[in-house]
């Protein structure tokens, strides 16, 4: 008999770096009885941070999945949890986790509030329409302010946060919370590590605040329940707890409100109430609408209901290499059931594949299971060619589910093995790591003979090199980090290209007339999608129909190497309007070559320019160093975006080119005597100034300027 999915929750814990995600997950596992001793992140003992690199650095690098159970109102609920990294270099882990989860607990630090990475995570959750609840952690720290964080969630993230709790005390006096639904005060016992709690009268000094925020909560949910609305005007006291809970649940799933909770995971306070909220307010797999996909045979939309009887459909969201079991594919099942040894179809490759074993994951430990059903997250061994974002489904009922967006790498590094015998090992290690991480790219530079690896930041590449050393036993030398520039054009250019070769026998001939121009933004979103926009306006058969794809292919290949310095051209629009062919000499290859030659000439004349990655930077510094920090950022070509006050410190926001930011953390420490902190994330690509662009082009061509004394 199939399991009742009403009692299942698939949730993720997501937030900026150092908000307490792993500590919170650790407490959840302890309270739910999965572990009997709480590990701490800073000691390297956390269950979910199982990688050596995580334990050494005290940060989460890879998202870890686990399953636990929580008893709520005499009913056991199954919770699948994914603990995600906060560091912006590992944003892909958050991206792919959010794609397959039904709900998210968004953590905020009670002192730091909403940070730049919180915004990134929030945007990712919005992209996949994931309902979320907010948990303001670290209420015991100096400077903690729950209501200030709630205000920031409203102002910065544009959400509608509704406090469901009011903290009793703050900083070192934080003892518990007032539950606004039940209208009672709860404090947790320190003796039992927060396992038990007791109800106390609402403190005198909080009665007015509680009444005010309870009123706001009822107003927010009254829109969702006509019964509450009527009672709200007649007799607010007659509104039952169940009515409020149901209305909050509807509004949360609808993403119109964000219920806000508070606590201190490290001090074992508030986590159980947050678990109850996960059960009460976040959706089960059944609350989500039927998943929509495309039938690859007909290109028609097709739907799968969350039902065991439906044909099997799942999305592979993560590949991991385990030293003992081999290549693990994590997947979320949306419909049907898959048994160990079952056959599936990979709709990307069109090939059938077989899963030999299925596991239920607990961090890096595998628990074998016979089958996995809809609404579950499992890991399979035996898949040969499944990549992140692939749909696996029943061979007779193909479907393609929406995949994920992965950001482009912004930083590169040349590496080479120290010894000859490491060459093969290096290739093997890099291909496995590239399989695991879609934001990690490997390229062999034929001009220099170097292997170039690209990723999301210095830390990302540092971890990759460290993993090569430990897991694949490859010692390698590495070059200085390089920025990944891009190229773009700024205006239209009309061009006719003739490719002609005659060397006895059959020749080569192709003629194309085209116009290149900057890519056009999408009509709905206003965003410019990466890639080639190809407009075929050939009429009258001046180019035979079968050669047009070759022209398109020629341009797509040519875009990988821009005309100025060989960097990739992100987007381009080409309008093919005329051409010519020879009945004997023309073939697909000729038209592809003509397109590549046309690209070189046309883009160079269309105002080609170098684009550089711009980072969004936030520096928190004591007041006395503000001038020095800003002076340093100005020297780095930073664009100031504003200064705010937060807890007696200045928050400087700026946009700075990545090429100027190498080693920034060290110089910031020097300037501020180690008292300032910074966080940085990728923002966008922007045209590089002429002097910078000249240097980039000169370097690419090997013409490096030498300063003579």
**What is the distance between the alpha carbons of residues 490 and 516, in angstroms, rounded to a whole number?**
10
CB-CB contact of 532 with 574 (8 Å): yes
pLDDT band at 531 (very low <50, low <70, confident <90, very high): confident
Query: What is the reported pLDDT for 528?
Result: 83
**What is the distance between the alpha carbons of residues 683 and 653, in angstroms, rounded to a whole number?**
12
Max avg pLDDT among 95-99, 220-224, 701-705: 95-99
Lowest mean pLDDT among 38-52, 498-512, 576-590, 609-623: 38-52
| DSSP designation for 623 | G
Max avg pLDDT among 439-448, 516-525, 578-587, 650-659: 650-659
- With b for 16 or more beta-carbon neighbours within 10 A and e for fewer, the 202-215 pattern comes to bbeebeeebeebbe
Sign of the CA dihedral running 640, 641, 642, 646: negative
Q: Is the pLDDT of residue 315 over 90?
A: yes
Q: Which one has a higher pLDDT value, 201 or 35? A: 201
Tell me which residue of 119, 62, 129 sits closest to 89, measured CA to CA. Answer: 62
Burial class from Cβ neighbours inside 10 Å (0-12, 13-18, 19+) for residue 16 reads buried
Rounded (10°) CA dihedral 680, 685, 691, 693: 120
Token pair belonging to 204: 């005198």
Query: What is the reported pLDDT for 60?
Result: 78
Percent of the chain past pLDDT 90, that is, above it, reads: 41
379-427 pLDDT tens trace: 999 888 888 889 999 999 999 998 887 877 888 888 988 888 888 888 8
Query: What is the reported pLDDT for 110?
Result: 92
Query: What is the reported pLDDT for 432?
Result: 87
285-299 pLDDT tens trace: 999 888 999 998 888
Which H, E and C letters describe 583-606, residue by residue?
A: CCCCCHHHHHHHHHHHHHHHHHHC
Q: Is the pLDDT of residue 504 over 80?
A: no
Q: Is the pLDDT of residue 503 over 80?
A: no
Q: What are the counts of helices (DSSP H) followed by strands (DSSP E) for the chain?
A: 16, 38
366-381 pLDDT tens trace: 889 999 999 999 999 9
Max avg pLDDT among 167-181, 187-201, 317-331, 690-704: 167-181
Which H, E and C letters describe 143-175, residue by residue?
A: CCCHHHHHHHHHHCCCCCEEECEEEECCHHHCC
Q: Is the pLDDT of residue 43 over 70?
A: no
Query: What is the reported pLDDT for 37?
Result: 67
**What is the distance between the alpha carbons of residues 598 and 582, in angstroms, rounded to a whole number?**
19
Residue-wise DSSP of 531-564:
EEEEEE---TTSS-GGGHHHHHHHHHHHTTS-TT
Token pair belonging to 79: 């919770």
Burial class from Cβ neighbours inside 10 Å (0-12, 13-18, 19+) for residue 336 reads buried
Q: Is the pLDDT of residue 618 over 80?
A: yes
6-26 pLDDT tens trace: 999 999 998 888 888 888 888
Query: What is the reported pLDDT for 570?
Result: 85
**What is the distance between the alpha carbons of residues 677 and 622, in angstroms, rounded to a whole number?**
10
Q: Find the mean pLDDT for residues 117-144.
A: 90
pLDDT band at 709 (very low <50, low <70, confident <90, very high): very low
Q: What is the mean pLDDT of the chain?
A: 87
Q: Is the pLDDT of residue 646 over 80?
A: no
Q: Find the mean pLDDT for residues 180-200.
A: 86
Query: What is the reported pLDDT for 706?
Result: 47
648-700 pLDDT tens trace: 788 899 999 999 988 888 888 888 888 888 888 888 889 999 999 999 888 88
Q: Is the pLDDT of residue 210 over 90?
A: yes
584-610 pLDDT tens trace: 888 899 999 999 999 999 999 999 999
549-583 pLDDT tens trace: 999 999 999 998 889 988 889 889 999 999 998 88
Q: Is the pLDDT of residue 251 over 80?
A: yes
pLDDT band at 213 (very low <50, low <70, confident <90, very high): very high
Maximum distance among all Cα pairs of the chain, rounded to whole angstroms: 100
Query: What is the reported pLDDT for 39?
Result: 63
Q: Find the mean pLDDT for residues 59-84.
A: 87
pLDDT band at 50 (very low <50, low <70, confident <90, very high): low
- With b for 16 or more beta-carbon neighbours within 10 A and e for fewer, the 247-276 pattern comes to bbbbbbbeebbbbbbbbbbbbbbbbbbbbb
Query: What is the reported pLDDT for 40?
Result: 65
């Amino acid at each position: 008999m199939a399991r009742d999915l009403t009692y299942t929750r698939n949730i993720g814990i997501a937030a900026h770096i150092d908000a307490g995600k792993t500590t919170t997950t650790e407490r959840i596992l302890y309270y739910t009885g999965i572990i009997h001793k709480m590990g701490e992140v800073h000691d390297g003992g956390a269950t979910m941070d199982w990688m050596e690199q995580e334990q050494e650095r005290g940060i989460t690098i890879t998202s870890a999945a686990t399953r636990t159970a929580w008893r709520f109102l005499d009913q056991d609920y199954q919770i699948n949890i994914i603990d995600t990294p906060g560091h912006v270099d590992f944003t892909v882990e958050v991206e792919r986790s959010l794609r397959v989860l039904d709900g998210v607990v968004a953590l905020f630090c009670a002192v730091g509030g909403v940070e730049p990475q919180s915004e990134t995570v929030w945007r990712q959750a919005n992209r996949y329409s994931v309902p979320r609840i907010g948990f303001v952690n670290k209420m015991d720290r100096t400077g903690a302010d729950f209501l200030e964080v709630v205000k920031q969630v409203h102002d910065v993230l544009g959400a509608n946060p509704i406090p469901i709790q009011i903290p009793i005390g703050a900083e070192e006096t934080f003892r518990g919370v007032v539950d606004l639904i039940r209208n009672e005060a709860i404090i947790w016992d320190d003796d039992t590590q927060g396992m038990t709690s007791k109800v106390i009268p609402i403190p005198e000094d909080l009665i007015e605040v509680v009444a005010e925020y309870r009123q706001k909560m009822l107003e927010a949910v009254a829109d969702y329940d006509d019964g509450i609305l009527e009672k709200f005007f007649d007799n607010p006291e007659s509104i039952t707890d169940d009515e409020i809970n149901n209305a909050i649940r509807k509004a949360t799933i609808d993403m119109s409100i964000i219920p806000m909770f508070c606590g201190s995971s490290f001090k074992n306070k508030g986590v159980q109430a947050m678990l109850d909220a996960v059960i009460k307010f976040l959706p089960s797999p059944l609350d989500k609408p039927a998943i929509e996909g495309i039938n690859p045979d007909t290109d028609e939309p097709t739907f799968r209901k969350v039902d065991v009887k439906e044909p099997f459909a799942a999305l592979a969201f993560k590949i991991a290499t385990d030293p003992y079991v081999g290549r693990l594919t994590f997947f979320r099942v949306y419909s049907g059931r898959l048994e160990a040894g079952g056959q599936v179809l990979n709709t990307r490759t069109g090939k059938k594949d077989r899963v030999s074993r299925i596991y239920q994951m607990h961090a890096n430990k595998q628990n074998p299971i016979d089958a996995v059903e809809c609404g579950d997250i499992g890991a399979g061994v035996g898949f040969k060619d499944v990549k992140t974002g692939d749909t696996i489904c029943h061979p007779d009922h193909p479907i393609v589910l929406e995949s994920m967006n992965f950001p482009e790498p912004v930083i590169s590094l040349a590496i080479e093995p120290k010894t000859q015998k490491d060459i093969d090992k290096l290739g093997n290690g890099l291909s496995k790591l590239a399989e695991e991480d879609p934001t990690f790219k490997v390229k062999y530079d034929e001009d220099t003979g170097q292997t170039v690896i690209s990723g999301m930041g210095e830390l990302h590449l540092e971890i990759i090199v460290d993993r090569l050393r430990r897991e694949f036993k490859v010692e390698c030398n590495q070059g200085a980090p390089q920025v990944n520039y891009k190229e773009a054009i700024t205006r239209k250019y009309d061009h006719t290209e003739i490719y002609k070769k005659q060397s006895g026998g059959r020749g080569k001939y192709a003629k194309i007339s085209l116009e290149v121009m900057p890519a056009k933004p999408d009509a709905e979103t206003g965003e410019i999608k990466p890639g080639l926009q190809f407009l075929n306006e050939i009429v009258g058969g001046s180019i035979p129909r079968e050669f047009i794809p070759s022209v398109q292919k020629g341009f797509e290949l040519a875009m990988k190497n821009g005309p100025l310095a060989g960097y990739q051209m992100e987007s381009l629009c080409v309008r093919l309007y005329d051409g010519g062919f020879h009945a004997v000499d023309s073939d697909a290859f000729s038209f592809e070559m003509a397109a590549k030659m046309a690209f070189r000439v046309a883009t160079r004349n269309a105002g080609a320019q170098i684009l550089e990655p711009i980072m969004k930077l936030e520096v928190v510094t004591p007041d006395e160093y503000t001038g020095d920090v800003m002076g340093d950022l100005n020297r780095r070509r930073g664009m100031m975006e504003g200064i705010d006050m937060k807890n007696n410190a200045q928050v400087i926001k700026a946009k700075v080119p990545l090429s100027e930011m190498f080693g920034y953390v060290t110089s910031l420490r020097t300037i501020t005597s180690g008292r300032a902190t910074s966080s940085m994330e990728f923002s966008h690509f922007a045209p590089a100034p002429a002097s910078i662009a000249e240097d980039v082009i000169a370097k690419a061509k090997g013409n490096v300027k030498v300063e003579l004394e």
